[in-house]
Chain A
């Protein structure tokens, strides 16, 4: 099968057949590129196809010029073909044997494919082309994530997944809430007979007495007293019954509402904790690439404040929503059953409110999202400056940091102001609607009463219902903005949860136990966002060999060790350990074989013992001490007031750089890795510390395959082979002495390093 890059699928270019038609017998496609710009840098599609015999190109499609005509060069006619990128813009240049130049232009979106094409061309010409199908996963992913834009409100629905463990309790909460709502509908219903059957007839009889007995006041007094004592007393008893019913309903509604509140608070606390765990767990699984593109503070804000917002939304608001809907529907039904015309009039402001809600919805949505984003920016400033406080103070930049914070803080205020004006306008508007609604009911009701169509009791009942009804409508409209706010938070969480780790577990993992430590880098290339970092690196490292990586900064040394650790995956080529592609190993199993000592050793807040045992929490005290001894850390640890129980890390005992370094060496020693990655600190330490670290490293390196980014002369001399990297390529390989004699890049770097050390020594000698 001829390999076809994914580019064809992604951009849906010129139809397949027109290319097939161009191919001769025995010719197959090696690489294919669809450029996205024409020579004037306007968007246009143009196809460039590399086969095993020729390079074919079709005139630009979409720019109006050329369209469809194929040009071709036989491989032998091509003197050079290269892809070059600069600032998001790339060019593919073809120089034929006659010295004639042909160009294609493209944006970063397709630059990977362009480089791929150029490389395959070189391979073809050098005869090193291997016909292997290698899907360019990077491209596949970028295209896959593009089409993934779900509507916002869905994000909130998606958190139901986290509610699953609490289903029973949620049902209980819903039932309680419904019962409580139903009970609260009872009181107004009781007021209707209370008025129409009890109070108003009584008043009528009083009026009758007053009208019928025109004679003297004394007789009227007597009759009225009689009425009050007999009829009034019995009616009072009925009133008492009604009032008892009203009280019972109120108390019942209170108890149920309390129960519902308690249940929902409990549930929402669980859901948001679940959400936090899940999000953080997912975050930890994501590859380094994700973190390098994010702000720490923003991620922290997502896990802390966004989940909290959802929690309070769930407990305070969401349950009420169900109750409110039931209340509104229930009220409407009751109103219609009592008097349809009056009900219709009563409900007429409702559509108006719904329309208002609809109107502000979009504004609130974008407003709250903006607020959330800016909040994240603000926390980022904190997460940036607080760990860097020493630098801030050293350069006396407190004021600038304050300004930076104030600026982001102002942006939060500004974003919130904008959205606040919307909803602060909105709520009173709804309240006004309610008042208007009430007036309408009064006006219409009064007319109907006068018209003898309805009784005063019915009107009073209506007014009681309508009061509740609009309180609920108002609450719902308030809730509505809270919903949008929570949805914005949910969206920010889902963004994290939807992120797929770039470094993935293999579908069928190869068994990995304790590896031998034979590392092969086979034609490894790595691009970071289309910027090439490593290019075609070949290296074979024997088990137990020590490799020193040397080169100017930016040469790709760190990238190389990141690839070996599988923090990133190679863009092309493969890394094999003991003959197996490391992408076929389960991640944790593979990494368990790797020990890392970084330039800036990171200590977690905890005891020294915990820090040393970080990679093997179950290690015995003896093993921990043994590792510390080998790392030359034991003696200084014993001098600390709490020995191995001393707290270190943030807020803990402060340790010197050399001490931290040795603790991290002990940490690596304890897991006894087969492969050791060493990123040496460039900073110099005093000679005594240097000696201690050197001895510690000696113990660490012993018998392990080691890749060290080397700065210290002693490390350079000790390495079995040095690998000199320059601009992502290996330029020299060999032992220290050989490379020195060769007088190339390494000799130059080494002499510079030597100079610097002498200068430092001289400096140290001058200062007492």
Chain B
């Protein structure tokens, strides 16, 4: 079989080659060029279970926790993950306009102000703890790390959708 269960321990090395591609060398010494780290549980447990996949999307290795890794490797991985991910963190909800068939959200995020439309009635997804996530029409997600930490006006706006 092509993929035996990948081991969770760091029995592989990861580095960038001269062309800045991520290269994984497994326990048998095989080199896999241009691999990509993928969070298995990006929403609920973003720092646990990071799979390293090859170009075809087959899993080569899986890291149980980012914290287990040596700082060098961890930095490389986080850098790479950050390059793939775009999840603005919501700092303030400016306003929500209800239209007949969609709602229009205006947000301030850590990546700057943004406004989007959505026609999904379940625009807000409650996650574990007090985390919540918004998703717009195009599938971009906006994270609210702590609903209680939002200012009063934002909380009141959000309340209607929770």
Q: Are B5 and A641 in contact (CB under 8 A)?
A: no
Main SS of the interface on chain B? loop
CB A114 to nearest CB in B, in angstroms, measures: 56
Query: Is B5 in contact with A609, judged by CB distance below 8 angstroms?
Result: no
Whether the Cβ atoms of A625 and B62 lie closer than 8 Å is yes
Whether a CB of chain B sits under 8 angstroms from the CB of A645 is yes
Which residues of B85-127 are within 8 A (CB) of A?
122, 125
The A51-85 residues at the B interface (CB cut-off 8 A) are none
A732 at the interface (CB under 8 A from B): no
* In contact, B139 and A638 (Cβ under 8 angstroms): no
B73 interfacial by beta-carbon distance below 8 Å: no
B38 at the interface (CB under 8 A from A): yes
Tell which of B9-17, B19-27, B39-47, B144-152 binds the partner: B39-47
How far is the CB of B49 from the nearest CB of chain A, in Å?
6
Give the chain B neighbours of A622 by CB distance below 8 A.
8, 49, 64
Distance to closest chain A CB from B82 (angstroms): 16
A695 to chain B, nearest CB (A): 8
CB-CB contacts below 8 Å: B136-160 with A: 139
Kindly name the residue among A621, A641, A644, A645 whose own CB sees the greatest number of chain B CB atoms within 10 A: A645
Is B33 on the interface with A (CB-CB < 8 A)?
Answer: no
B38 in contact with A638 (CB, 8 Å)? yes
Q: Select B41's contact among A634, A639, A644, A647, beta carbons within 8 Å.
A: A644
The closest CB in chain A to the CB of B121 belongs to A651
B41 and A609 form a contact (CB under 8 A)? yes
> Is A645 in contact with B44, judged by CB distance below 8 angstroms?
yes
Residues of B within 8 A of A634 (CB): 59
Nearest chain B CB to A620's CB is how many angstroms away?
A: 10
Chain B residues, Cβ within 8 Å of A635: 3, 53, 57-59
Of the candidates B1, B57, B139, the one whose C-beta lies within 8 Å of that of A641 is B139
Interface size band for B: 20 to 34
A651 to B122, CA, bound (A): 9
B51 within 8 A of A: yes
- The residues of A that contact B1 with a CB separation of less than 8 Å are 695
Task: Give the residue name and chain of the B residue nearest to A641 (CB).
Answer: B139
User: Interface size for chain A: under 10, 10 to 19, 20 to 34, or 35 or more residues?
Assistant: 20 to 34
A-B interface pairs (CB < 8 A), number = 52
CB atoms of B57 and A638 under 8 A apart? yes
Complex CA distance for A635 and B38, rounded to whole angstroms = 11
Distance, CA A643 to CA B39, complexed state (A): 7
Residues on the A chain within 8 Å of B58, using CB: 635
Docked complex Cα distance between A634 and B51 (Å): 10
> In the complex, which residues of chain B have a beta carbon less than 8 angstroms from the beta carbon of A370?
none
Contact with B along A544-584 (1 / 0, CB 8 A): 00000000000000000000000000000000000000000
Taking a contact as CB atoms under 8 Å apart, the answer to whether B40 and A643 are in contact is yes
Q: Which of B8, B38, B44 is A609 in contact with, Cβ under 8 Å? A: B44
Chain B CB within 8 A of A629 CB: yes
The answer to whether B62 touches A645, judged by C-beta atoms less than 8 angstroms apart, is no
A7 CB → nearest B CB, Å: 56
* Complex interface bits, A605-634 against B, C-beta within 8 A gives 1, otherwise 0: 001010000000000011001100100001
Tell whether A642 is near chain B: CB-to-CB under 8 Å: yes
How far does the Cβ of B125 sit from chain A's closest Cβ, in whole Å?
A: 7
Is B48 a contact partner of A621 (Cβ separation < 8 A)? yes
Task: Assess the A642–B42 pair: CB atoms within 8 A.
Answer: yes
A625/B49 in contact, CB under 8 A:
yes
Q: Would you call A643 and B125 a contact (CB within 8 A)?
A: no
**Beyond A629-B5, A634-B59, is A645–B43 a contact (Cβ under 8 Å)?**
yes
Within 8 Å by CB of A647, from B51, B53, B125, lies: B125
Given A638-B53, A651-B122, A645–B59 Cβ distance below 8 Å?
A: no
A643 to B58, CA, bound (A): 13
When distances are taken between beta carbons in the complex, the residues of chain B under 8 Å from A609 are 41, 44
Tell me, rounded to whole Å, the shortest Cβ–Cβ distance linking A643 to chain B.
5
Q: Which residues of B contact A695 (CB under 8 A)?
A: 1
Residue from A609, A622, A642, A651 with most neighbouring chain B CB atoms (10 Å): A642
With A621-B48, A621-B49, A635-B57 as known contacts, state yes or no: A643 contacts B5, CB within 8 Å.
no
Nearest chain A residue, comparing its CB with the CB of B5: A629
Question: B41 — which chain A residues lie within 8 A by C-beta?
Answer: 609, 621, 643-645
Q: How far is the CA of A695 from the CA of B3 in the complex (A)?
A: 12
Given B5, B39, B43, B45, which contacts A626 in the complex, CB threshold below 8 Å?
B5
CB–CB B51/A638 < 8 A: yes
Q: Distance (Å) between the CB of A605 and the closest chain B CB?
A: 9
Most chain B beta-carbon neighbours within 10 Å: one of A621, A638, A695: A638
**Could you say which residues of chain B place their CB within 8 Å of the CB of A651?**
122
Min Cβ gap B50→A in Å is 10
A621 vs chain B, min Cβ distance (A)? 6
B125 x A638 contact (CB < 8 A)? no
B59 partner residues in chain A, CB cutoff 8 A: 629, 634-635, 638
Measured between C-beta atoms, what is the minimum distance from B86 to chain A in Å?
11
Q: Mark A641-671, 1 if CB is under 8 A from B, else 0.
A: 1111101000100000000000000000000
Please, which residue of chain A has its CB at the minimum distance from the CB of B6?
A629
CB proximity of A689 to chain B, nearest CB, Å: 15
Smallest Cβ-Cβ distance to B45: which chain A residue: A621
- C-alpha spacing A526/B159, complex, angstroms: 54
Q: Could you list some 25 contacts between A and B, CB below 8 A?
A: A607-B44, A609-B41, A621-B41, A621-B49, A622-B8, A622-B49, A625-B49, A626-B5, A635-B3, A635-B58, A637-B40, A638-B38, A638-B40, A638-B57, A639-B57, A642-B43, A643-B39, A643-B40, A643-B41, A643-B42, A644-B44, A645-B41, A645-B42, A645-B43, A695-B1
Please give me the 7 A-B residue pairs with the lowest Cβ-Cβ distance, nearest first. A645-B43, A643-B40, A638-B38, A644-B41, A639-B57, A644-B40, A645-B44
Identify the B interface with A (CB < 8 A): 1, 3, 5, 8, 38-45, 48-49, 51, 53, 57-59, 62, 64, 122, 125, 139
18 extra interface residue pairs, beta carbon distance < 8 Å, beyond A609-B44, A626-B5: A609-B41, A621-B41, A622-B64, A625-B49, A625-B62, A635-B58, A635-B59, A636-B57, A638-B51, A638-B53, A638-B59, A639-B57, A642-B43, A643-B38, A643-B42, A644-B41, A644-B44, A645-B41
